[in-house]
Chains A and B, each alone.
Chain A
Amino acid sequence: MADPARIPRRRLDHRHLLATAVLTVLLLFFTVPLLYLLSVSLMGRNETGQGVLLPAVPQWSNWVDVLTGSDLLRGIGNSLIAAAGGSVLTLALSLPAAWAITRYRTGGRTLAGTIMSPWLLPPIVAVVPLFALLRVLGLHNTLLGLTLLYALVNIPVAIWLLEGFLRKLPIEVEEAARIDGAGSVRVLGSVVAPLVSPALVAIGIIIAVLNYNEFLLATFLTQSPDAQTLPVVLSMFYGERTPHYGKIAAASVIGVLPVFAVAVLLQRKLVGGLTNGAVR
């Protein structure tokens, strides 16, 4: 099937040139800093922050030191687990809720109005009661606890994003299923879910990204290296007596590689999902 985003071009006119120019500038804006990060990751101690754009000799030792001398890989692993696990759970919990709220106004105005409220505020003070709650459940300082928390935290965002797609679904298909005798669960599972699955994948990716990047909750709710996620491990590099910015940059590049890889692979699904999510 053709890439939904490839729109046939008929002729080159000034609008297209303008668009291309704008796109080029934006592309530079977004990618140059990342290239700089890569460059710094290969710099020696005397080069970082000294007005050097490219290292004289690539210091691959930065990468080696960071990989072997810290908990970076485990942090990345933990991040991936919490991100993916949390995202899948969020979707599983959000789709039924979004559907019930959109279609049937379950919970009425109150639920629809307040569903986003926990997501609106920085969760700093919430750390204290949440910590106590996790402790009561025996889940403090565990990756499982953090994953479950991530799953709950993003339900509002997932519902918010799903609502738009669900609204666009034609009601006839669902009604047809009902006439056939399907209950709500059946309708949701066999009719609605498949129709929005591209959107689900896309939103799932977005939420997984939000989880992977989350720092505040992870810092305070996980102390041991077993449970620490990538952002937490990265923040530790700064506390060293003489932080080596080349190594910090190397750790950062290694930290984003898995996510970048996923983005490359799933980019098509991401865009396709958000597009196909609108009926067509």
Chain B
Amino acid sequence: MTASTHPRRRRALTAAGAVAVSALALVACAGGSAEAGAGGESLTVLLITSHQGAAEQLAADYEELTGVEIDTVIVPYDEIGNTLALDQQSGANTIDVAAPWYVSIGDLAASGAIQDLTEWIEETPDLDVDDFIPSIYDAYTLYDGKRWGLPFDGDTHVLFSNTEILERNGITAPPATWDEYLEQSALITANEGANGVYGNVVFGQKSPLILGASFANRLAGFGGSFVDEDGKPVIDSPEAIAAAQSLADALGSAYPTPAETAFGEGNSAWYAGNAAFIENWTDLGVGSQLNPDSAVKDEWAVSLLPVGGDNTQPRASLVAGFTWVVAANTDKTDLARDFIAWAASSEVNERLLVADPQTGIDPNRISSLESAAYGETYPELQRVNRATLDGALAWPTGKNATQAAEILTDELAKLVAGEVTAAEALSAVQAEWERLLG
């Protein structure tokens, strides 16, 4: 701008210019401070919000052990996959290590966002991979015949029951089948719904980790699978349809309202003592004891997920589950690998299992699962987590698995909304999955 003949105008323009310049300067300074602290090494680790507690503990412990500073980047659980993919694809490369949902491993590997760790694992016997819970190890790390990570958080669902509510309604044992679950839930809701206490919580919010989990739990119970041994979709099998129908039947007695129930709402209802049955990760038991908001301390029981249909063998359902991966473009490969080897180790897992405040981590290794500490502090949780040793239902994890999970969730959401029948929903999914997963 040129100088003007009016002093007032000049001042105004100068002021505006000064504001602009100082704003930019401030911004540049603020941006500059995003660099790692001067001196010592650091590692940037990407995690979901639920793992923030675990992240803080891991960062503190690792720094104490090695002096390396861990910078944690926390994102919502729906965003960790795309954050890592975008970071690597664009060449920004700010992330060194991440713990995404295991279902996205195939897509991340196929797009070159994570490192192939097969050789490193073979050459490092200290990793003791045979100690990883077998059903978890393959599901969480194997894609295209190669290993892409180390399991972090086991994350199977089990059934929690509020023993007080059961007692009040004359129920002596948690349901062993999904039909019993429906009956008991309906009874409790009929008796106590007016007081804001409901039989069951159904996680129905439209997200794979949430609504997908509710379905997967029932699919496991009915003996169904997402795909067969060859990886071909079998999502419209009679067992799957029965499972979806069971989910739909559970909506009537559920804590209002399933479509808006995500972890926050569901867990809050449980902690407040307003729900009799909830499927959740085993650390809900830890929370029930330790969480300051918990009104259900010592008033809960945990059991394996119910069975249904012709299936009588309870089966673990690997609904969430997170895997440590190393970003493909990191220049700190050795440090990153050292970190995940440590973070996935038995001692670390054991410590996270019994930590107070709770970290939300589940066993990933046989040794930590069977550890004395875990058995003494949470014997019930140890008992139910053993179910993972007998085989578990895992989501498909290959290429396009993430999209497949979204498609299933969309159709299940329509089922929850009452817009389609169970059979219609799943045959639509089957058609899409055949196209995507082959």
Q: Which residues of A contact B (CB under 8 A)?
A: 45-46, 50, 77-78, 81-82, 84-85, 88-89, 92, 127-128, 131-132, 135-136, 139-145, 147, 185-186, 189-190, 193-194, 197, 219-220, 223-224, 226-227, 235-236, 238-243
Residue B313 at the chain A interface, CB threshold 8 Å: no
A92 touches B50 (CB 8 A): no
What chain B residues lie within 8 Å of A242 (beta carbons)? 263-264, 267-268, 271, 287, 291, 293
Interfacial chain B residues near A77, Cβ < 8 Å = 30
Contacts of B398 in A (CB 8 A): none
Please give 9 more A-B residue pairs, beta carbons under 8 A apart, in addition to A140-B90, A193-B9, A193-B13: A45-B268, A50-B196, A131-B92, A132-B91, A143-B27, A190-B6, A194-B9, A223-B87, A226-B34
User: Which A-chain residue is minimally distant from B263 (CB atoms)?
Assistant: A241
A55 to B44 Cα, complex, angstroms: 41
- Interface flags for B77-91 (1: CB within 8 Å of A; 0: not) read 101001100110111
B34 close to A85 (CB less than 8 A) = no
Q: How far is the CA of A189 from the CA of B17 in the complex (A)?
A: 13
Known: A223-B73, A224-B34. A135 touches B92 (CB 8 A): yes
Asked if B285 lies at the interface with its beta carbon under 8 angstroms from chain A, I say no
A85 and B264 contacting across the interface, CB-CB below 8 Å: no
Are B94 and A226 within 8 A (Cβ)? no
- Is residue B417 within 8 Å, beta carbon to beta carbon, of the partner chain? no
- Chain B: residues with Cβ within 8 Å of the partner, total of 51
> What are 15 A-B contacts with C-beta separation under 8 Å?
A45-B268, A46-B272, A81-B23, A88-B19, A128-B90, A132-B91, A135-B90, A190-B4, A220-B83, A223-B87, A235-B76, A240-B49, A240-B50, A241-B264, A241-B287
Q: Is B16 an interface residue (CB 8 A)?
A: yes
Contact of A78 among B24, B30, B79 (CB under 8 A): B30
Question: What residues of B have a CB within 8 angstroms of the CB of A236 in the complex?
Answer: 49, 74-76
B residues at A contact (CB < 8 Å): 1-2, 4-6, 9, 12-13, 16, 19-20, 23-24, 26-28, 30-31, 33-34, 48-50, 52, 71, 73-77, 79, 82-83, 86-87, 89-92, 94, 196, 263-264, 267-268, 271-272, 287, 291, 293, 360
Residues of A within 8 Å of B77, CB to CB, are: 239
Report the Cα distance A78→B91, complex, angstroms: 24
- The answer to whether B86 touches A131, judged by C-beta atoms less than 8 angstroms apart, is yes
Q: A227-B31, A241-B263 are in contact. Are A88 and B2 (CB under 8 A)?
A: no
A46-B272, A85-B23 known; A241-B30 Cβ under 8 A = no
Chain A residues near B91: list those with CB within 8 A: 132, 135-136
The answer to whether B50 touches A241 (Cβ under 8 A) is yes
A185→B28 CA distance, assembly (Å)? 29
Which chain A residue shows the least CB distance to B281? A241
Q: Which of A77, A89, A132, A223 has the most CB of B within 10 A?
A: A223
Q: Is the CB of A239 within 8 A of B30?
A: no
Question: Is the Cβ of B264 less than 8 Å from the Cβ of A84?
Answer: no
| Alpha-carbon distance between A236 and B16 when the two chains are bound, in angstroms | 35
Report how far A92 CA is from B12 CA in the complex, Å.
13
* Chain A residues whose C-beta falls within 8 Å of the C-beta of B92 in the assembled complex: 131, 135, 140-141
